[in-house]
Chains A and B, each alone.
Chain A
Amino acid sequence: MMGNLLEHVGVERDRLHFSWISSAEATKFVDVVKEISDKVRALDTDKKFAKEYTK
């Protein structure tokens, strides 16, 4: 529901990932992190939640 809400307000769905990984599943962890990084990288830097600081 969190993902759906974020998607509804216009945040890219691929920025939020859920996974169930046991401490014994090191390879799954690596795969998932890789997949997430690739997907988020493909979306480019998020500007929606970036604060604009004035110097």
Chain B
Amino acid sequence: MDTCIEKIRAICADLLAKGEVQKVIGFAEGSIPMASRPIAVTSKDDVEKLVFNATCGLNLANYVSDALPKEGKIAVTAKGCDSRNLVTHMVENQVSRDRLYIIGVPCTGMVDKRKIAALFEDEITDFIEEGDTLTIVSAQKKEVVSKKDMLRHNCRMCTHRNPVVFDVMAAEPVAEQSLDQPFADVDQIAAMDPEARWAHFQELTKNCIRCYACRNACPLCYCPTCFVDESSPQWVGKGQDKTDINTFHFLRAFHCAGRCTDCGACVEACPMGINVRDFTRKLNKDALELFGWEAGLDMEKRPPLDVYSPDDPDDFIK
């Protein structure tokens, strides 16, 4: 995938030189291997800083509204999922289409960094990606693995790898996959009895330190004051009490209902390796089954919980 970076850089340099956009949001190398980070580039001389590889798992739609200049456009590189979150942003009036220049990047998936780190006992010193081959090096050893085997769970389940909206594409579209069981993980949890389900989620969140990195990484969480930060009234306690941890997770997830694109940025950001997608995946499944809805595919439609339709399922109302 690194092959399209030259094209991305060329497009960005051209846009900045012509003054068509004020800024470009993309990914840059991090301070350690595999830690690529978002960057805003304002000069064509800096486009060399841009990178694109299988470690760019954050969602750039998250940074668009904050980085938007007072006037003019901003360019953003967008994988399939980022583009769907851009659509959600536009539908929810967070940014207008004419302020954006979207550089679509067909995506073959992002790697699970924890899975790769688990192959090593010591610190990883280098990460090289060539096509599907990943070479990862530490002081002790070198591992050569297939990227396909190292993909994040959400990328393995992803059926929208090509950007759904773009001004220019940085590469040819990739083949989309179709899945026999798109929600096998959700079904597996649903098959347990209620106490086991409760136990599963208690175990899942037991190490949560309430750092809110999952919320901060999510493009959907743009409220100026999040319910967890509100102090009058205080909706949820601030500490590590399990009741408060539960409340935070249930509500964070529910605020994403019908809006989540399963981009995985929340999981990517979590320092404790908690798969918070276990909550949102259930909502995504219900949105699909009850409303035939997948988030971020349609610029004309608002998310199903935002609108009323006489066809809405209502058998839960007694």
A2 x B254 contact (CB < 8 A): yes
CB distance from A43 to the nearest CB of B (A): 11
Q: How far is the CA of A49 from the CA of B248 in the complex (A)?
A: 12
B283 x A1 contact (CB < 8 A): yes
When C-beta atoms are compared, the residue in chain B nearest to A6 turns out to be: B250
Asked whether A12 is an interface residue with its Cβ less than 8 Å from the other chain, the reply is yes
Q: Which A residues from 3 to 52 make CB contacts under 8 A with B?
A: 3-12, 17-20, 32, 35, 48-52
Contacts A10-B198, A10-B199; A5 near B279 (Cβ below 8 A): yes
Residues of chain B within 8 A (CB-CB) of A17 are 318
Contacts A19-B317, A20-B317; A9 near B197 (Cβ below 8 A): yes
Residues of chain A within 8 A (CB-CB) of B186 are 8
Contacts A2-B254, A49-B243; A11 near B198 (Cβ below 8 A): yes
CB distance from A49 to the nearest CB of B (A): 5
How many residue pairs link A and B with beta carbons under 8 A? The number is 64
CB distance from A16 to the nearest CB of B (A): 9
Asked whether B159 is an interface residue with its Cβ less than 8 Å from the other chain, the reply is no
When C-beta atoms are compared, the residue in chain A nearest to B258 turns out to be: A1
B241 x A1 contact (CB < 8 A): no
Q: How many residues of B contact A (CB 8 A)?
A: 31
Partner of A8, one of B190, B258, B287, B318: B190
CB distance from A17 to the nearest CB of B (A): 7
Residues of chain B within 8 A (CB-CB) of A5 are 250, 253-254, 257, 279, 282-283, 286
CB distance from A54 to the nearest CB of B (A): 11
Asked whether B230 is an interface residue with its Cβ less than 8 Å from the other chain, the reply is no
A1 x B198 contact (CB < 8 A): no
Residues of chain B within 8 A (CB-CB) of A9 are 197-198, 201, 246, 250, 279
* Of A6, A19, A35, A51, most B-chain CB atoms within 10 Å: A51
Asked whether B195 is an interface residue with its Cβ less than 8 Å from the other chain, the reply is yes
Asked whether B308 is an interface residue with its Cβ less than 8 Å from the other chain, the reply is no
B189 x A8 contact (CB < 8 A): yes
B318 x A19 contact (CB < 8 A): yes
Partner of B286, one of A4, A48, A52: A4
CB distance from B102 to the nearest CB of A (A): 30
CB distance from B306 to the nearest CB of A (A): 13
Residues of chain A within 8 A (CB-CB) of B189 are 8
* Of B196, B198, B258, B290, most A-chain CB atoms within 10 Å: B198
Residues of chain A within 8 A (CB-CB) of B233 are none
Residues of chain A within 8 A (CB-CB) of B190 are 8
CB distance from A25 to the nearest CB of B (A): 13
CB distance from A8 to the nearest CB of B (A): 5
Residues of chain B within 8 A (CB-CB) of A1 are 254, 257-258, 283, 286-287, 290, 305
Known: A9-B197, A9-B279, A11-B198. 10 other contacts (CB 8 A): A4-B282, A8-B186, A8-B197, A9-B246, A10-B194, A10-B198, A19-B318, A48-B246, A49-B246, A51-B243
Q: Can you sample 18 A-B contacts with CB below 8 Å?
A: A1-B283, A1-B287, A1-B305, A2-B257, A3-B316, A4-B286, A5-B250, A8-B189, A8-B190, A10-B194, A10-B195, A10-B196, A10-B198, A10-B200, A18-B318, A48-B198, A49-B247, A52-B241
A residues in contact (CB < 8 Å) with B: 1-12, 17-20, 32, 35, 48-52
